Amino acid sequence: MIKIVECRYKSPKDITLVFSDGMQSSFNLESYLHQHDGPLLRQLHNSIYAQKVFVEYGALCWPNGLELSPQRLYELTQSSEVA
């Protein structure tokens, strides 16, 4: 099972993710938010809040309880969907 082991917020278009298999990729949060909506995601439009990103139990998380699946992020950052 793939997990995120590290994340670094650089900008809304670039959150660097390091996965448990050693792969490093860039997650475009801004693009992801244009394609998805929901009450927990809305807070991430504020870049100051988005910077509070952290890794917990292998998932990408924010203080409001939002968790993004490491497997899905792995797939997304391997394609051109949001990376």
Q: What is the pLDDT along the chain (83 residues), one digit of tens a residue?
A: 999 999 999 999 999 999 999 999 999 999 999 999 999 999 999 999 999 999 999 999 999 999 999 999 999 988 644 44
DSSP assigned state of 45: G
Any long-range contacts for 60-65 (C-beta under 8 Å, 24+ apart)? 60/4, 60/7, 60/15, 60/17, 60/27, 64/40, 65/40
- Each domain of the chain, given as residue ranges in start order, spans 12-63+70-78
pTM: 0.88
Q: Which residues of 30-46 are buried (b: 16+ CB within 10 A; e: fewer)?
A: bbbbeeeeeeebeebee
